Structure 1
Amino acid sequence: MYPQENGKKVKLYTGSYNAPVVTGDGSVYLGKGEGICLWEFDESAGEVRLEKSWPEVLNASWLTLSSDGKMLYAVNELDDYEGTMGGALSAYHIDARGCLEADSILPVMGAAPCHVSCDGSGGHVFTANYNGGSMSCFRLAADGGLAEMDLQLVHSFGEKENADGRGDLRHPVRQEKPHVHSAAVKDGFVWIADLGTDEISCYELEADGKPGKCAASVFLEAGSGPRSFAFSREGNMLYVTCELKNRIAVYRWEKEKRRLSFVQTVSSLPEEARDAESSIGGIVLSEDGRFIYVGNRGTDTIGVFAVDNDGFLSPVQWISSEGKNPRGFTLSPSGGWLLAANQDSDNLVVFERDPDTGMLAKKRVYEAGAVVCLLFTK
């Protein structure tokens, strides 16, 4: 297996659900989470130890770090923060021990924000607001705190989409309106996945750090439900999970030409399970770009796929997530471990990872309430 760095211990943050929120099917969910938790992870043994929790942080369903690692930003996936009919974005200073000190919180002006990313320059942070069908852009203060929301993109169904019959092919419950699920920054562009409209698009970041005009967009097959992104290190390959069809869609990105070209779609499920009630969630690409990992929520498996030199995917393994609803997962800094959080069974599972084959083997299971996001420090 992977040669571990003896005795190396790193910090890990997890975000969880601990307040009511309206889910994709319209039901209200209340998780057993503890807000944001700080863990110590031992790279040599694959063990985690809880150090501290901040249970006052509500529904921290996605976390990201500033480029210098001194700030942590968390979306608060709420439907009505302080009467705004939407959720919020929180900013925290990180001290030398990894502990969080609250700095600022602002409404995102969109319901159920579920993803957040930084622009890399320390100037802006972006949230994807699922039930709001929007992306919010926040200008940062000099100390990394939140200064103001200075732009918002609100999606709607276009006339052409309705005219060409796409609307008739959408999922009647999950795609009743736009649902922006991701807003991910890569190489000077912010990429948006809209589960409701089946569109992925990107906007070039201008000199002031705000998104400018749309640089490229593409509609996936109607009823796909694009959710989460992974990018190759070079930035020329884009992998997106299609939640409603249990597929991974692969695109080639020609940055200079501002052009997206379709490459491939593959099922996230083995052939014998393709009629099962399940939905693909998150996606992670290994640091060397050779393997992709996805979570299948329903069949409750982690799917492992090899990436060839042209970016094409082929299945390697499906392994039990050892729980229910494997929503959040990440690779450790060494790449020797994959940590997966099962939201509905309230556990955190450590898998050992073979760097040559990409395959996983279960090592340890820990209690962790309604965790949906995992983030290692830089």
Structure 2
Amino acid sequence: MSTIYLGGYTSGQPPHRSGLARVTWTPDGFGDVEQVDGPADPSWLVRAGTEVYAVSEGPAPSVARVRPGSGVVAEAALEGGGPCHLALSPDGRRLVASSYVGGSITLLGIDGDAEAHDPGLRVLDRLVFGGSGPHERQDAPHAHQAVFLDEERLLVCDLGTDQVHEVSVGEGALRHTGDITLPPGTGPRHLALAPGREDLLWVVGELDQSVHTVVREPAGWAVRQTVSTVPGGPGPGETTTAGIVVSPDGSHVYVSTRGTDTVSAFAAGDDGRLTLRQQVVTGHWPRFIGWLPGEEGRHLVVAAEREGSVDVWSVDEGTLEEIGHSLAWSAPTWAG
């Protein structure tokens, strides 16, 4: 049995008190949804033991620390609008929130632990990026995701500048140290690291509907390959790529595309190059994909925002199979 937490844009949609909930899943399907008191419209969650951290995209952007049964036990306001991602450091002592509208990332310190009487959140530093790109949505920087490489280094996807920023984290401060440059109009949304390697990663281009294989060479990071997630062409309306996950052994990469409403399964070679093996149709607007907790590499969760559904797919030797387990949930943005 797995416990899945759900985040979504559910404020103002009765009977939801917040956009946060949890549900159990077994091979027989989903159980009943349990509402969890939390922030409005949590667009991204991070699980940490018995607690959950969430960014709220409401009118007062914030990061909340939620303890099921107790609700929000700590909260910190964020400068800049549209927080859309949250990352927890490997030691569990710091968070980084990415703000799309503000084009910035915020470093927060975590005080106490799960049993602390004063489990606070402290804003330590904020880093604002600059620049733009050729696409109409690239008039300014738009930080979309931060990924910890280790305790001292971050990579930040910037949809607005066609760059993945390299950032150092030390002594409670953020410092922009370099950039990985993607092709013009890419719109980097999310990246995934190759398991067990420091020289390979994949970047999803939201605007160019592609996955970019990026390798570390003696002269720095470079794009080795670009593969489309819409080989048959974009859908009839807006088409944008969204989520990315990698199998635990690094042999397959999965990417969701909104508009065509598909998840693509790519086989990954030792050099990181991708080959499309399969493409499956999902619910409308698959914003998020991720591994089912405890079932990494075996069951994939797909949250279709505009369909209002969360589905579980089985994975067999890299390919996806629909198993009919679907949960209705308003405008899901995260599930895992």
Per-residue CA deviation, residues 86-138 of structure 1 (Å, 9 max, x unaligned), is x11101235xxxx5632111111110100000112222100000011110111
Comparing 337-346 and 273-282, the one that deviates more: 273-282
- Picking from 66, 75, 98, the partner of 1:105 is 75
Establish whether residue 250 from structure 1 lines up as the match of residue 232 from structure 2.
no
Q: Which runs of structure 2 are paired with 1:133-212 in the superposition (5 Å)?
A: 133-143=103-113, 145-157=119-131, 167=133, 170-172=134-136, 174-188=137-151, 189-206=153-170, 208=171, 210-212=173-175
Q: What is the CA distance between 1:362 and its match in structure 2?
A: 4.1
Per-residue CA deviation, residues 278-332 of structure 1 (Å, 9 max, x unaligned), is 11001011111111111110011111111111111110111110x2100112122
Distance 2:268 2:31 in 1: 33
Per-residue CA deviation, residues 147-169 of structure 1 (Å, 9 max, x unaligned), is 32111011122xxx7xxxxx5xx
Q: Which residue of 2 aligns with 1:350?
A: 312
2:32 partner SS: strand
Contact 1:195/1:225, CA 8 A, preserved across alignment? yes
* RMSD, aligned CA: 2.3
Aligned length: 326
Q: Which residue of 1 aligns with 2:25?
A: 41
1:111 partner SS: coil
TM-score in terms of structure 2 length: 0.90
Q: Which residue of 2 aligns with 1:25?
A: none
Q: Which residue of 2 aligns with 1:369?
A: 330
Contact 1:187/1:235, CA 8 A, preserved across alignment? no
Q: What is the CA distance between 1:258 and its match in structure 2?
A: 8.7
Q: Which residue of 2 aligns with 1:338?
A: 300
TM-score in terms of structure 1 length: 0.80
Establish whether residue 63 from structure 1 lines up as the match of residue 45 from structure 2.
yes
Q: Which has the higher strand share?
A: 2
Task: Name the structure, 1 or 2, with higher relative contact order (CA <8 Å, separation 6+).
Answer: 1
Comparing 51-60 and 295-304, the one that deviates more: 51-60
- Picking from 312, 322, 327, the partner of 2:287 is 327
Query: Match for 1:64: what amino acid?
Result: V
Query: Match for 1:282: what amino acid?
Result: G
Contact 2:10/2:19, CA 8 A, preserved across alignment? yes
Contact 1:316/1:359, CA 8 A, preserved across alignment? no
Comparing 300-309 and 362-371, the one that deviates more: 362-371
Contact 1:138/1:146, CA 8 A, preserved across alignment? no
2:31 partner SS: strand
Establish whether residue 125 from structure 1 lines up as the match of residue 95 from structure 2.
yes
Distance 2:322 2:64 in 1: 36
Residues 186 and 303 of structure 1, relative CA distance in 2, 3 Å threshold: same
Query: Match for 2:10: what amino acid?
Result: N
Distance 1:199 1:221 in 2: 9
Contact 2:313/2:320, CA 8 A, preserved across alignment? no
Distance 1:317 1:36 in 2: 32
1:241 partner SS: strand
Residues 155 and 31 of structure 1, relative CA distance in 2, 3 Å threshold: farther
Residues 155 and 183 of structure 1, relative CA distance in 2, 3 Å threshold: same
Q: Which residue of 2 aligns with 1:114?
A: 84
Comparing 111-120 and 261-270, the one that deviates more: 261-270
Residues 209 and 258 of structure 1, relative CA distance in 2, 3 Å threshold: farther
Unaligned regions of 5+ residues in structure 1, if any?
1-8, 21-29, 82-86, 162-166
Per-residue CA deviation, residues 322-368 of structure 1 (Å, 9 max, x unaligned), is x21001121222232111111111111121211x2433334222211
Q: Which residue of 2 aligns with 1:278?
A: 239
